[in-house]
Amino acid sequence: MIGASLGAAAYERASEISAILAVANPVDDRRLARLSSRPDVVLALSGIGISFGGVKALSDVDLEVEVGEIRAVIGPNGAGKSSLINIISGLYHADRGRIAIDGQSFSQVPASRLARLGVARTFQNLALFGGLSVRNNIACGRVHTRRASFVEHIAGLPRARSEDAGIAEKTDQIVAFLHLESVADRLVATLPYGLQKRVELARALVAEPKLLLLDEPMAGMTATEKAEMAGFVRAARDRHGVTIILIEHDIGVVMGLSDRVAVLDYGRKIADGTPAEVRADPAVIRAYIGTAEGENGEDIR
Amino acid sequence: MAVQALDGTRVPIDWQRLAMPAVLIVVGYGLIPAYASSYLVEAILLPFLALSLAAVGLNLLTGYCGQLSLGSSAFMAVGAFAAYNFNLRIDGLPLPATMILAGISAAGIGVVFGLPSLRLRGFYLAVSTLAAQFFVQWALTKFGWFSNYNPSGVISAPHLIVAGFPLDGATGRYLLSVTTVIVLTAVVWRLVNSATGRNFIAVRDNETAARVIGVPVLRTKLLAFAISSFIIGVAGVLWAFTYLRTVEPAGFNLDRSFQILFIIIIGGLASMRGAFLGAAFIVVFPLLLSRIGAFAFGDLFDSGVLDMSQRIVLGALIIIFLIAEPSGLSALFDRLKRRIG
Ligand SMILES: Nc1ncnc2c1ncn2[C@@H]1O[C@H](COP(=O)(O)OP(=O)(O)OP(=O)(O)O)[C@@H](O)[C@H]1O
Ligand SMILES: [Mg+2]
C-alpha cells in the first residue's frame, strides 16, 4: 500500500515490516523490536486491539511511522483515532498488540515515562493548566528534564537556577516560534480557544520530542487559524525534524500536510498510503459516504 | 534612586515591592510590640498568627495542589504533642529545633494519610482524610504517654526560650509567633513560585496532562501533603505553646479542620494573602458579632445565641463566597485596590 514515491527499497522495507507486524509470537516480537530499532522507524504498532465494554474501539491495527514524516490518521467520529493516540501515550492499555517506540517494545506504554521516551502530545479537548501563565504552561513541557529538588528551588541553589534559566531560554524560543509573545504572560485560561490550542502545541514542542502526537489540533478553529496552525505543524517538522502523528477531520488540511495517511473505520484500518492513494481508495470513499458525508466538512474529494 | 548591581549596571529600586515588607516589619516588630495591648495580642494576634500559618499550609495542599483535606486539625495536634514530647524528653533541645522536629513528625503523619490521594480525588479524598482526624485524636487520648500521663490528656506549654531570651510573656510569645510565621510564609512563597509549585498547580489543573509531560504526579502529591503538614504541624505548636498554653486532644477536633478550610475558602484558594485575610476575618468576626449583638439585643444575646448566630452567618458567608466570589477576599481586595488606585 506504500506509494511508489517512496521508492522500491522503501516499498520492500515497508512490506517486510507489515509482514512481521501481522503475526504476533515472541520470536516475531523480537524481530519487531529489531526492526523498530532501525533508526528510520520511530513508532511501530502491531495488532493493537482495545474494547470498552462491548465496543471494539480498535481491532488488529498495525501502523508504522518513519522518522520525519507527518503521518495523518483520519476516520469518521468514533473510529478509534483518539483511542489509538491514548494507547501510544500510555493513557489506555491495549488488550492486544505491542507498541515499539524508538526501538523499545511495550505491551503497555508507561505514561509517566512518556516524555523521557521522546514522545509529546496534545489533547483533543484542551488540557492546559488554567492557573498558570502561557509561559509557565509551556515551561512545564520541559519538566521531565529537571533534576533539582524542591529544597534547591526554595533555597535558589545553582542547579535549580541553571535549570530555570535553560528552560526559560527554550520557552522563549518556542514562544517566538509560535508567535505567542504578546500573550506570554497572560493566564492561559483567559486566552481565546484558538490560541489555547497553540499553547498546547508549544508545551508539546518545547520538550523537543522525537515523536509528536496531535489529536485534532485544528478542531474548532476558523479557516485562517487552521492555515496558521498547519503552517506551524509543518514548520515544526521541517525546522525541528520532529515526527508527527496528526489526527484531523479537515480532509483538505490532511491531504496538504501529510506524507502518508492511515484511515480508520469502526476500529479497523481500512487504508494506508499517500494522500493520493487514500483519496482514490474505494473502501475509504465508501466509509466516508456511509457516514453522513461532509458532516464536519470532511468531504473526501 | 538606584543601586549598583553585581555586574556594575545601575538598577532602579522597586519601591513598590519593598513597601509592603517594610511596612510589615515596622508594624510587626516595632509598633505592635511597643503599643499593642495584651488583650489585642492574646485574644486576636496570637490566634490570628497560628491560624494564618495553618491556612498557609492547607492552602498549599488544597489551593495549589488541589487535594481536599479535612485533616488539618489532626496535623496541628501532631505538631503540638510532638513538640511537647521532644521538649520533655530531650534535655536542652533548643526551641527552634523542637519546632522543626514537630513539623517533621506532622509531615510524616501527613504523608501516611496522604497515601489515599494516589487513588482518591475530591470528596472521596476529603472523607479519607477524616481518618487522620479521628485516628490522631483517638491515639492521643488512648495512649497516656503522649501527654506524659496527664489524667485528662492535657499538655501545657514549656518555658519558651530562644537563644537565652525568655519569651513567656505576651510580647515574647508574639515575637516568636510572628517570626515563625514570616519565615515559613517566605519559604512557602518561594516554593509556590518555583518549578515545584508549578508542578502542584499542574497536578491540580490537569492531572492527566501533568503525568504525560513528566510531572511525577504521585511524588508531587505526597510532597504537597508532607510540606503542608509540616507547616500545619508548626502552626499547631504555635497554637498550643503561644496562644492557648494548655491544650487537650479534643481541642484539635473536626471543627478546627473545617475552620481552617473556611479560612482558605473565604480568603481565596491558591493565594498567600488569602490565608491571612481569611484568618483575620475568622478571628475578628466572632468578636465583632458579639459586640454588635450585645449592643443591639442586650442581655438576650448570650453565648448560646452568639454561637448559633456565628455559625449561621459564617455558613451563609461561605455559600455566598463559593457562588459569588470563589477567589475569596483576596480577589475582592484586588478589585478594591484597582478601583482606588
Ligand atoms: N474511555 C472510554 N470509555 C468508554 N468508551 C470509550 C472510551 N474511549 C473511547 N471509547 C469509545 O471507543 C470508540 C472510539 O472512540 P475514539 O474517541 O477513539 O474515537 P475518535 O476516532 O477519536 O472519534 P472523534 O472523531 O469523535 O474524536 C467510541 O465508540 C468511543 O465511545
Ligand atoms: Mg477523537
Return the ligand 1 atom nearest residue A216 CA.
27
| Euclidean distance between CA atoms A100 and A110, whole angstroms | 12
| A·B CB contacts under 8 A | 88
B75: cell is 496535623
- Quick one: pLDDT at residue A277? 92
**pLDDT at residue A13 tops 50:** no
B→A contacts (Cβ < 8 Å), by residue, are: 187, 190-191, 194-196, 198-199, 201-202, 204-206, 208-217, 223, 227, 270
Chain B residue numbers touching A109 (CB-CB < 8 A): none
For the stretch A164-210, pLDDT in tens is 999 999 999 999 999 999 999 999 999 999 999 999 999 999 999 99
Query: Between A128, A139, A144, which is nearest B206 by CB?
Result: A128
- 10 Å CB burial of residue B148 (0-12, 13-18, 19+) is middle
Angle at A114 between CA A132 and CA A161, to 5 degrees: 50
pLDDT of A280: 87
Q: Residues A120, B191: contact at Cβ < 8 Å?
A: no
| pLDDT 10s digits, A51-108 | 999 899 999 999 999 999 999 999 999 999 999 999 999 999 999 999 999 889 999 9
Instruction: For residue A58, report the distance from its CA to the centre of ligand 1, in Å.
Output: 9
Strand partners, A48: A61
State yes or no: pLDDT of A163 exceeds 90. Answer: yes
Q: For position A22, what pLDDT does the model report? A: 40
Q: Is residue B57 part of a domain?
A: yes
Q: Does A150 touch chain B (CB under 8 A)?
A: yes
Nearest by CB: A111 against B196, B211, B227: B211
Residue nearest to atom 11 of ligand 1 (CA): A57
Asked, for residue B319, whether it belongs to a domain, the answer is no
- Domain of B199 in residue numbering reads as 25-253
Give the SS3 label for residue A49.
strand
Q: How far is CA A5 from the centre of its chain?
A: 23
**Residue range A213-237, pLDDT digits in tens:** 999 999 989 999 999 999 999 999 9
- What is the model's pLDDT at position B338? 83
A279 interface with B at CB cutoff 8 Å:
no
Query: Residue ranges per domain, chain A?
Result: 130-204
CA distances from A161 to A133, A138, A184, B181, B220 (A): 20, 18, 21, 26, 20
Tell me the per-residue pLDDT of A25-50, one tens digit each, with 9 for 90 and over: 454 455 555 555 566 889 999 999 99
Indicate yes or no: CB of B201 within 8 angstroms of CB of A132.
Answer: yes
- Using the Cβ of A217 and the Cβ atoms of chain B, whether some distance falls under 8 Å is answered with no
Give the number of other CB atoms < 10 A from CB of residue A146.
Answer: 22
| Candidate from A164, A167, A207 with C-beta closest to B213 | A207
**What pLDDT is recorded for position B18?**
80
The reply to whether ligand 1 has any atom less than 6 angstroms from the CB of A150 is no
How many of the other CB atoms lie within 10 Å of CB of B65? 26
Q: Does A152 touch chain B (CB under 8 A)?
A: no
If one compares B91 and A297, the residue with the highest pLDDT of the two is B91
Whether B16 is covered by a domain: the verdict is: no
How big is chain A by its Cα radius of gyration, in Å? Answer: 20
Q: How far, in Å, is the centroid of ligand 2 from the Cα of A84?
A: 9
Q: What one-letter code names the amino acid at A292?
A: A
Min CA distance, B301 vs chain A (Å)? 44
- Complex ipTM, two decimals? 0.87
Confirm if B282 and B50 have CB atoms less than 8 A apart: no
Residues of chain A with C-beta less than 8 angstroms from the C-beta of B196: 150, 153-154
Using a CB-CB distance cutoff of 8 angstroms, which residues of chain A are in contact with residue B191? 150, 153-154
- Overall number of domains in chain B: 1
Tens digits of residue pLDDT in A252-269: 899 999 999 999 999 999
Order of strands across the sheet with A260-265? Answer: A119-121, A211-215, A243-247, A70-74, A260-265, A268-273
- CA B16 to each of CA B19, B20, B21, B23, B275: distance values in angstroms, whole numbers, following the listed order: 5, 7, 10, 11, 22
Local structure of residue A89 (DSSP, 8 states): T
For residue A76 and ligand 1, the question of a CB distance below 6 A is answered with: no
Per-residue confidence of chain B (341 residues) as pLDDT tens digits?
455 544 555 666 677 778 878 888 889 898 888 888 989 999 999 999 999 999 999 999 999 999 999 999 999 999 999 999 999 999 989 999 999 999 999 999 999 999 988 888 888 888 889 989 999 999 999 998 999 898 888 899 999 989 889 999 999 999 999 999 999 999 999 999 999 999 999 999 999 999 999 999 999 999 999 999 999 999 999 999 999 999 999 999 999 999 999 999 999 999 999 999 999 999 998 888 888 888 888 777 787 888 888 889 888 988 888 888 888 888 888 888 888 76
- Band of pLDDT at residue A297, cut at 50, 70 and 90: very low
Other C-beta atoms closer than 10 Å to the C-beta of B152 total 9
Cβ contact (<8 Å) for B195 and A148?
yes
Mutation choice for ligand 1 from A48, A55, A93, CB with most ligand atoms inside 8 A:
A55
Can you tell me the distance from the alpha carbon of B320 to that of B326, in angstroms, rounded to the nearest whole number?
9
Q: How far apart are CA B66 and CA B74, in angstroms?
A: 19
A105-133 average pLDDT score: 95
Work out the end-to-end distance of chain B between its first and last CA atoms, rounded to an integer number of angstroms. 23
In this structure, the strands spanning A41-52 and A55-66 are antiparallel
Cβ neighbours of A91 in B, within 8 Å: 208, 212
